[in-house]
Amino acid sequence: MARPPLHRMNYEHQCECGRWLSGRIILEEETNNILAESSCPCGRKITKVVGYLVTIQCTKCKTFINF
């Protein structure tokens, strides 16, 4: 099963204070982690790993593809 493109992904969760937050999805270049990041008005900042960037090489054309 494939995931949607990064710009179409979203992340929703409930903060410890009770508010529902919508986070943004970002790519951490050094580790190829896909992170969900959100900030609550109560002051908490939550960052969570939600996936990993995968790199494959095409067997025919030998180009590298990230998904």
Q: Where are the beta strands (DSSP E) in 1-67?
A: 11-14, 20-28, 33-39, 45-52, 55-57, 64-66
Q: pLDDT (tens digit, 9 = 90+) per residue, 22-66?
A: 888 988 888 888 899 999 999 999 999 988 888 888 888 988 877
The pTM assigned to this predicted structure is 0.68
Q: Between the CA of residue 39 and those of 16, 20, 31, what are the distances in Å?
A: 12, 11, 22
